[in-house]
Amino acid sequence: MEDIELLSKIKTDDREAFNSLFLKYYPLLSDFCRFLGADNNDGEDIIADLFLDLWVKRERLQIHTSIKSYLYGAIKNRVYTLKGKSQKVELLPEEYASDKPIGDHLHPDEILFRKERRLMIERFIDELPEQGKLIFLMSWQHQLEHQEIAEILNISPNTVKTHIYRAINYCRKRLLLLNN
């Protein structure tokens, strides 16, 4: 069922639609909480509170973006509120980093080269300014579209594109310096 259809059913007190929306987005939102530096317990509480608010306010809820963008934005705001704005947010702790499966047809030295290259790129990303790092990781690891990132962070899509361009360009330059 599409998100818009789920939302309209939720507004008419359909608990099944609400459960479907919860089950659809819980794993993604849980990963996003960890990505923003919330521990598992805090993440579960934040998601539960968000969905409780969604249910309580269902009749008067007005979402002007996609539901996905709305939920991600609400999670981001709640995590930042929890951690406090003055506290630096730790992005994607090492234990949650995931490697994409590498094809079986690659030789062991090629697999090692790709892993080393990925680790280098991750180190370069850590050197980026906080907002550039956040935007790049939302795009690269969470596979969010530029428009979705812009809606979540309440910035222009062009700003998102600029940050991603700068991050890629920075990593490219750093790799070229290492290879020379």
pLDDT tens readout for residues 3-39? 888 888 888 888 998 999 999 999 889 888 888 888 8
> How many structural domains does the chain have?
2
Q: What is the domain-level CATH number for residue 36?
A: 1.10.1740.10
Contact 29, 72 (CB under 8 A): yes
**Alpha-carbon distance 165 to 11, whole Å?**
40
Q: Domain check: are 21 and 77 in the same one? A: yes
149 lies in the same domain as 76? no
**Which has more confidence, 50 or 81?**
50
Tokens of 64: 């002007």
90 inside domain: no
CB atoms inside a 10 Å sphere around CB 94: 6
Residue 75 forms part of a structural domain: yes
Same domain, yes or no: 103 and 173 = yes
CB-CB contact of 72 with 3 (8 Å): no
CB 36 within 8 A of CB 75: yes
* pLDDT tens-digit series, residues 145-174: 898 888 888 899 999 999 999 988 888 888
User: Among residues 40, 60, 83, which one ends one of the domains?
Assistant: 83
Domain of residue 74: give its range. 3-83
Would the CA dihedral through 177, 140, 118, 134 be positive or negative? Answer: positive
State the average pLDDT over residues 75-97: 62
Q: Are residues 103 and 169 in the same domain?
A: yes
Are 67 and 120 contained in the same domain?
A: no
- Please indicate, yes or no, whether residues 51 and 116 belong to a single structural domain of this protein: no
Whether 174 and 153 share a structural domain = yes
Please give the structure tokens belonging to residue 41.
């317990």
Q: Identify the residue whose tokens are 């521990």.
A: 39
Angle subtended by helix axes 67-83 and 40-56, to nearest 10: 130
Residues 6+ apart with CB under 8 A from 63: 7, 70
The answer on 104 and 72 residing in a single domain is no
User: Do both 79 and 102 map to the same domain?
Assistant: no
Percent of residues, the chain, with pLDDT higher than 70: 86
**Residue 45 resides in a domain:** yes
Summarize pLDDT for 103-123 with one digit per residue, the tens. Answer: 445 677 777 777 787 788 888
Q: Where would I find the H helices in the chain?
A: 3-11, 15-35, 40-56, 67-83, 108-126, 130-140, 146-153, 157-179
The model's confidence at residue 93, banded by pLDDT at 50, 70 and 90, is very low
Rounded CA gap, 116 and 47, in Å? 35
Q: Which of 83, 115, 148 is the last residue of a domain?
A: 83
- The answer to whether residue 89 sits within a structural domain is no
User: DSSP assignment, residue 101?
Assistant: P
Same domain, 104 and 173: yes
> In angstroms, what is the C-alpha Rg of the chain?
19
* 72/144 same-domain check: no
Average pLDDT, the chain: 81
